[in-house]
Amino acid sequence: MKEQANSQYLKEIIARYLAGTATAAELEFLEQRDMLIDKDGGDFSKINGPEKQDIKDQIKQRLDLEIRRSRPSIRFVRWARYAAAALLFATVGTEIYYYSQSNSTQVNEELKAEANIASSATISPGTNRATIVLDDGSEYQLSESQSGIVNAVNAITYEDGNPISTSAYTSATIVVPAAGQYRVTLSDGTKVWLNSISSLRYPVQFSGSERRVALSGEAYFEVHKDASRPFIVESDGQEVKVLGTKFNVSAYQTFPLITTLLEGAVEVSADAAVQKLTPGQQVRVSDGKMKLMKGKVDLEEVTAWKNGYFKFSGNLESIMDKVARWYDIEVIYKVKPDPNMTFEGKISRDKNIEEIFEIMELTKEIHFEVQGRSVIVMK
């Protein structure tokens, strides 16, 4: 009975901490429990399952970012700052979660004090930026206040109908730089979302027995159905053939070609290899060799960029590749990162880069120093 009362008291303190109403005495109590953790691991298991889930639900509603460090040897951080994470630590046993408050444009001042990032200037996130080049050589810088363009016969407009060009042209190339993104509606109604450092070449009108476009970089496609004319996405050493479907193609240079199917059916070919995909499947092509990925594919992670956020799941280098493209930075490693050091979490792509680094630094395993548009990664 006493244990149950203690469990309830602890739960109430955590709830008040999350609401920002915990008293100084209650925070001191949490600090003391931190010392107990260091001494003998604490007694979180005495909080029953439904209570843990209740608190966990509250946390998910209040917090929008979690970064998990999968090293069971790392000790827990201070209770008074991260009381919410303690309940999750009790639940998962050997994994550590860190959180920052949602609906907040700045990281909590306590996190900033912990992070101690050296920065010469704020690096802002990317925005709607692109250039369209017509086959006659004319070039148009697209508006950052718009998010997409629509192609029709002898006319290109923004999605709200404002004109861009009425020049006669047969093909066009839209180029999205680092720290940019843009959406394109092709003449057949197909919609294409382009990620940073990407380009798409396409005809003003599709003719003949197929609809063919050329992609460099990453794009998400929602192809308009036309059973008589397959839609073909051509990338370096690969073709994706569809009739009407939703899929993502990542075709960055020096990286494997990755095609992920969300809906419908596609056929991926590279050299002599051909692979048909069903929804939820992913195929990778590297050095001309094709590999169908086994196990469940995280479709949310694949399309997170298109939906306005990062979903991290992997080692530091894979995460920094995504960050570098969106924030237009150069990443310099003073020490090669441990490939076993992995992070997992979600954060809006509208955040300044310092907010991402501040959270990651809480692992005490990595440090970032910002110098202009270069980011130095060190121990």
Give φ, ψ of 212 to 5 degrees: -120, 135
DSSP-derived letter for residue 44 is G
* CA dist., res. 344 & res. 347, Å (int): 10
- Which pair of tokens denotes residue 145? 């206040």
DSSP-derived letter for residue 166 is -
Chain mean position to CA 192 = 18
Q: What is the mean pLDDT of residues 36-46?
A: 45
**pLDDT tens, residue by residue, 12-26:** 666 666 555 666 666
**pLDDT tens, residue by residue, 45-57:** 455 566 555 655 5
Average pLDDT of the residues of the chain: 78
| Residue whose C-alpha is closest to residue 8's, from 36, 47, 43, 37 | 47
CA torsion 74-345-235-293 (nearest 10°) is 70
Instruction: Fill in the amino acid letter for 271.
Output: D
8 A C-beta contact, residue 15 and residue 55: yes
8 A C-beta contact, residue 75 and residue 94: no
* CA dist., res. 178 & res. 127, Å (int): 10
Q: In sequence order, what are the residues at sequence separation of 6 or more whose Cβ sits closer than 8 angstroms to the Cβ of residue 105?
A: none
Chain mean position to CA 150 = 26
* CA dist., res. 231 & res. 188, Å (int): 10
Instruction: Fill in the amino acid letter for 46.
Output: K
Other CB atoms within 10 A of residue 173 CB: 16
| Residue whose C-alpha is closest to residue 311's, from 345, 342, 343, 280 | 345
Choices 2.60.120.1440, 2.40.40.20, 3.30.70.260, 1.40.20.10: CATH for 127-300: 2.60.120.1440
pLDDT score of 375: 95
Other CB atoms within 10 A of residue 275 CB: 16
* CA dist., res. 243 & res. 211, Å (int): 9
pLDDT band for position 185 (cuts 50, 70, 90): very high
* CA dist., res. 65 & res. 210, Å (int): 43
Establish whether domains 119-123+308-378 and 127-300 are of one fold: no
Q: What is the mean pLDDT of residues 231-241?
A: 95
| Residue whose C-alpha is closest to residue 20's, from 84, 76, 78, 67 | 84
* CA dist., res. 350 & res. 309, Å (int): 8
DSSP-derived letter for residue 169 is -
**pLDDT tens, residue by residue, 110-155:** 334 443 444 446 788 999 999 999 998 899 999 999 999 999 877 8
For 119-123+308-378, CATH gives 3.55.50.30
Instruction: Please tell me which of 192-196, 318-322, 340-344 the model is most confident about, judged by mean pLDDT.
Output: 192-196
- Which pair of tokens denotes residue 163? 């004109």
pLDDT score of 344: 82
**pLDDT tens, residue by residue, 266-280:** 999 998 899 999 999
8 A C-beta contact, residue 73 and residue 341: no
Give φ, ψ of 353 to 5 degrees: -60, -30
Paired with 98 in beta bridges are 67
User: Which of 81-85, 314-318, 354-358 is predicted least confidently?
Assistant: 81-85
CA torsion 53-58-61-66 (nearest 10°) is -70
Q: What is the mean pLDDT of residues 172-200?
A: 97
Ramachandran area for residue 237 (φ above 0: left; ψ -120 to 50: alpha; else beta): left
Angle separating helix axes 49-62 and 2-19, nearest 10 degrees: 0
Q: How far is CA 331 from CA 190, 199, 284, 322, 366, in A?
A: 35, 23, 25, 11, 14
* CA dist., res. 212 & res. 244, Å (int): 13
Instruction: Sketch the domain layout of the chain as residue ranges.
Output: 2-104, 119-123+308-378, 127-300
- Which pair of tokens denotes residue 295? 């196990």
